[in-house]
Structure formats: C-alpha cells, structure tokens
Amino acid sequence: MKTAIVMAGLVLSGLAPAAAEEVGRVGVDWVGNDIIVEAVPDPKVQGVTCHLAYFERSTFDRLKNGNWFEDPSNSAIECSRTGKVVLGDIARGPEGEEVFSESRSLIFKSLRVTRIYDEANQTLIYLAHANEVTEGSAKMAISSVPLFGN
C-alpha cells in the first residue's frame, strides 16, 4: 500500500519515468522468443516518441538455459517528432535524465532510456542502455531528435 501511494505521488508530480505501450511483437524462433517493440512518449517533452525494441526470452528458453530471471540487455531505439516539440522542465546537464526504465532481471538489471539535451546543437539525444548493479554493460543504442524547425 505504501509503495502504491509513493508511486501515485511520483506520477502526479511528473517525476516517474514514462510508461511504454507495446505496439509490436515479432516471433524470432520456434521456442517462443520474441522481439518486443514499445512506444515510449517522453513525459517531459511533448511531441517526441521513442520506439524501443528488445528481446524477450520464452519460458522454454528459460528452462533450457537454466537462467530463469533474466532477459538479454540488447536493445534498439529510434526517436522521432510526433507533433510540435515543447520542452518541459528537463535536466540540462551532461548526465541527462531517465525517461524510461524496465526490469530485465529479478533485481539486478534494467533497460533504461536516458535523455541528454545537447543545447549547443539544439538536439535531444536518447540513449537506450542496460543498468546493472554488479557489472556494467557496453550494450547501447542511440537516437537523436533535432529541435530546430519546430
């Protein structure tokens, strides 16, 4: 109950990461492994939507490989203007700001999308990457949305 109240407060205050909507699912083999495609609207930048693709392991694959609680970190991202771009109160530092996060294991790994504002070039950069507690990962994908001509 306490967690639900905290999450409701975060959502109402605009501090929670964006929610994703599944828009596609492609089967890649006979054991049921899939590539999921989700639409992720930027919660602080009106008019920008990112499409995030990632691999989801089937139950059969989990049983066969003995790794029940983890999906691969691989992902792809493409972000585009889906309307008039209006910047909200976004982080402007080089470390950026989390836009989306989704668990990829029981507790140790998540797939994240971080937005970085390149003010000098008037561009928003979206970085899809794995975040792991124990070991970092070099698996990443990047997309950018120019702000000029808005």
Assess if residue 8 is contained within a domain.
no
* Number of domains, the chain: 1
Taking CA atoms, 93 is separated from 44, 96, 98, 116, 117, in Å, by 15, 6, 12, 8, 7
Q: Is residue 27 part of a domain?
A: yes
Q: Dig out the tokens for 22 from the structure.
A: 């599944």
In a domain, 63, yes or no: yes
Q: 9 lies in a domain?
A: no
Q: Structure pTM?
A: 0.76
- Indicate whether 105 pLDDT > 70: no
Q: Is residue 112 part of a domain?
A: yes
* Digit-coded pLDDT (tens) for 45-96: 999 999 999 888 776 766 676 666 666 667 899 999 999 999 999 999 999 9
Range of the domain at 123: 18-146
